[in-house]
Amino acid sequence: MHHANHYYGHSHVLARYCGLDDTDPPRLHGYLQHGWNIGDGLAPDHEYVPGVPSFLWSERTRRRAWSLGRRQLYVVGSPFAYLLTMEPISPSEKREGTIWYPFHGWEGQHVVGDHDGLMAEIRRTEAGPVTVCLYWQEYRDKRVRQRYERAGFRVICHGYRGGWWKDLDPGFLYRQLGELRKHARVASNRLCSAVFYGALAGCEPAVYGDPMHLEREKSAFGGQERILREWAGLHGPHVDPAPARRIAVDELGADRLLTPPELRRLLGWPMPRSVEDAELTGVLTR
């Protein structure tokens, strides 16, 4: 099982949806897309074995992957969209302010940009309280975290995404969903998974500010210019939430979710023990 299938607790969420033990998900027979991107859905820095299936979030991503020569592609929808079906919203839930996701680096590349300028623009734009959610790498860097804290923002981190089968965090998406549902708006300086998650979860999305960049960043599949061109309607300090949500449904495959039996069969997972026992009992009593 590729270690990236565990990122953000994705395999754990899918196991719960399938009625299996979400504390110890079964081996997933293929590669699961772990973040929104404008290419084939898979991380460009990972090596993949030819002939192994890929489980992608959306039909748009599947078509792009096919055009790039990939085969054995299946649209399953995003784990976050499955989580929403299992965690219904509370009627008494109140939303306030904005949750803001600054563009972040990763273990191999750090982000470069003007955090002070970005904070000033956030202050000029957002009318209510602001929660800044940093990626674990920036959150652990006190120099970055304390700059946002000194600016008066509430600063949080959803947790560590996990890696190489260690430090797994099955609660990552649950914490993210909980925070999104506390806020009226979701924003970032680059279009990303979090913005789509927020739009799907009922937030008004926004993408504005200095997009920053990664050290030695390469513009794969058209890069930031293509994102600005193709998803222009999602950029700006104030975005119409209705069409934004429709786009989020499409990009996250929220309209393409499978039933638990369908998903189990596609991922190569067993039936829940309760179902297996029931079917066995039926065979023995016939």
Query: What would the pLDDT profile of 161-218 be if each residue is shown by its tens digit?
Result: 766 556 778 899 999 999 999 999 999 999 999 999 999 999 999 999 988 776 556 6
Distance, in Å, from the CA atom of 230 to the CA atom of 227, rounded to the nearest integer, reads 5
pLDDT of the residue at 200: 97
Half-sphere exposure of 257 (CA within 13 A, CB side): 18
Tokens of 255: 């309209």
Q: Dihedral sign for Cα 227, 10, 62, 27, please.
A: positive
DSSP structural state of residue 38: S
pLDDT band at 276 (very low <50, low <70, confident <90, very high): low
Q: How long a stretch of residues is the chain?
A: 286
Alpha helices (H) along the chain: 10-17, 59-67, 79-86, 115-125, 136-140, 142-150, 172-180, 193-200, 223-230, 241-252, 260-267, 273-285
Query: What would the pLDDT profile of 214-231 be if each residue is shown by its tens digit?
Result: 655 666 666 788 899 999
> Which domains does the chain possess?
3-86+253-273 (no CATH), 98-252 (3.40.50)
